[in-house]
Amino acid sequence: MGGVPFDNTRKWYRGSDNDWKLNMEVQRIRADYRARYNVKKYETTGEIEIPVVTIHTTGDHVVPFWHNPKYRYKVFIKGNSLLHTGIPVDNYGHCTIDEAHVMAALYIIICKVRLMDYFEMSDRVFETQEQMNTFKEILKDNSIDVEFR
């Protein structure tokens, strides 16, 4: 398979300062039609085990914004909601995000990873094994793993 499933050979891009020049110079890629029929192989599952932050512009004309809530739903169904943070960027264009969005995403990931470290707790926190098991079960249902030392 090896090719890409997307094709821009007949696409006319507009909205630049010089659309004619843009369309004459943009790289054109012909789809591998075998790859086009295998696009499902590239579908996300929502099965994540570490913090993930997605950043998506609401006015993206290349990859529509509805991809972000669709992914969020997949993550929710798999029970991983606490590991995912979606950052919508109210802007037009594909990946028209700025440094503040990227820095916020990195900070969120760092905070979530640090928070995961706090859940390495002493096994003396609870009076009974039943309390500890209930605690672990509640957290597990919310995609949080706890290790006791």
* Nearest Cα to Cα of residue 94 among 13, 9, 10, 3: 13
Q: Which residue has the higher pLDDT, 36 or 114?
A: 114
Q: Is there a contact between 13 and 22 (Cβ–Cβ < 8 Å)?
A: yes
Q: Dihedral sign for Cα 13, 16, 21, 27, please.
A: negative
Tell whether the model's pLDDT for residue 121 goes beyond 60: no
pLDDT in tens, 46-89: 999 889 999 999 998 888 899 999 999 999 999 888 889 998 88
pLDDT at 134: 76
Placement of tokens 């659309």 in the chain: 19
Placement of tokens 């012909």 in the chain: 30
pLDDT in tens, 2-21: 677 778 999 999 888 999 99
How many whole angstroms separate alpha carbon 5 and alpha carbon 33? 6
Q: Are strands 84-92 and 52-59 parallel, antiparallel or unpaired?
A: parallel
* Nearest Cα to Cα of residue 132 among 116, 148, 118: 148
pLDDT in tens, 19-53: 999 999 999 988 887 776 666 666 788 999 889 99
Alpha carbon 93 to its chain's center: 18
Alpha helix locations (H) across the chain? Answer: 19-25, 33-36, 67-77, 99-118, 129-141
Domain ranges of the chain: 1-42, 44-118
How many whole angstroms separate alpha carbon 146 and alpha carbon 149? 10
